C-alpha cells in the first residue's frame, strides 16, 4: 500500500471512478433540479441546453447516480459501518470543527461525518429513485392512486434538499477544509503524514499489512 516515495494508496481506480460517476451525475441532477425548483433558477436549465432537454436527461442522470451510489454501497459498506471509535470521536467532534485535531481520538479509514454523509446519500439515492420514478411516469399512476403523485413530490423535494445540505458540506470539506482530500479522490494517493493526521487507525492498519507482506 505504501509506495516507494512514502505515499499511501487511499482510493483504488475503481473507487475513484465510482465516486466521480456519482459526483458528476449528482451535479447534473442538482443543476437541472434547481432549475425545476425555482423560477429564479430556471436559467440553470438554459445553460445545459434548455428546459425540455434538462427534463429529458434529469431522470437518466438520476438513474446513473443511483447506480453509482449502490455500487459504492457494495464496495464501501464494511468501511462505512459506525464503530465505537467513531462514537468516541463524535462526542468530541467540536474539536474537529475548530481544527483542534490533536484532541481527537484516532479513527479508521473514514470518520463519523464521512460515514453519515455516505448513509445520507445512500438512503437519499434510494428515496430519490423511487419518488423519481413516480414523477418520471406520473401519468402511469392512475387517478385513484393520485396520493402517490403527491407523496412523490414531497419525498423528492425533501430528500433532495437534505442531500444538498450534505453535498455543500462534502464539497467544502473535500476541497477547501481538508487539503489533500481532493487530490486523493482524483489521483488516489495521500502522504503518510496526511494518513496519520486524519485517519491514524487506517494508517496503522495499512502499514502493518504492507510490512506483513514483506
User: Residues interacting with other proteins, by CB under 8 A?
Assistant: 6, 35-40, 42, 45, 50-52, 54-56, 97-99, 101, 135, 138-139, 143, 146, 149-151, 153-154, 157, 161, 164-165, 168-169, 172, 176-180, 191-198
CB of 119 to other proteins, least distance (A): 19
CB nearer other proteins, residue 116 or residue 178:
178
Angle at 117 between CA 115 and CA 118, to 5 degrees: 65
CB nearer other proteins, residue 67 or residue 148:
148
**Could you tell me which residues are beta bridge partners of residue 190?**
8
DSSP alpha helix (H) spans, 50-137: 51-76, 84-91, 94-97, 112-136
CB nearer other proteins, residue 74 or residue 147:
147
H or E element that contains 48: none
- Sequence-separated (6 or more) residues with CB below 8 Å from residue 20: 185
For 81, phi then psi, to 5°, come to -65, 140
CB of 178 to other proteins, least distance (A): 5
Provide the grid cell at 71.
455500487
CB of 168 to other proteins, least distance (A): 4
CB nearer other proteins, residue 23 or residue 73:
23
Amino acid at each position: 500500500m505504501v509506495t516507494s516515495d512514502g505515499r499511501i494508496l487511499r482510493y483504488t481506480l475503481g473507487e475513484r471512478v465510482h465516486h466521480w460517476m456519482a459526483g458528476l451525475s449528482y451535479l447534473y441532477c442538482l443543476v437541472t433540479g434547481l432549475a425545476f425548483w425555482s423560477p429564479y433558477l430556471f436559467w440553470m436549465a438554459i445553460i445545459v441546453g434548455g428546459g425540455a432537454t434538462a427534463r429529458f436527461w434529469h431522470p437518466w442522470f438520476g438513474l446513473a447516480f443511483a447506480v453509482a451510489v449502490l455500487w459504492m454501497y457494495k464496495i464501501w459498506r464494511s468501511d462505512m459501518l459506525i464503530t465505537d471509535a467513531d462514537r468516541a470521536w463524535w462526542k468530541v467532534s467540536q474539536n474537529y470543527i475548530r481544527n483542534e485535531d490533536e484532541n481527537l481520538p484516532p479513527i479508521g479509514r473514514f470518520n463519523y461525518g464521512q460515514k453519515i454523509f455516505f448513509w445520507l446519500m445512500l438512503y437519499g439515492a434510494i428515496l430519490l429513485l423511487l419518488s423519481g420514478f413516480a414523477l418520471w411516469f406520473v401519468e402511469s399512476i392512475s387517478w385513484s392512486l393520485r396520493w402517490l403523485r403527491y407523496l412523490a413530490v414531497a419525498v423528492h423535494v425533501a430528500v433532495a434538499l437534505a442531500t444538498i445540505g450534505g453535498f455543500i458540506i462534502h464539497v467544502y470539506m473535500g476541497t477547501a477544509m481538508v487539503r489533500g482530500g481532493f487530490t486523493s479522490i482524483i489521483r488516489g494517493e495521500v502522504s503518510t503524514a496526511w494518513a496519520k493526521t486524519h485517519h491514524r487507525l487506517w494508517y496503522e492498519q495499512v502499514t502493518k499489512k504492507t510490512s506483513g507482506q514483506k
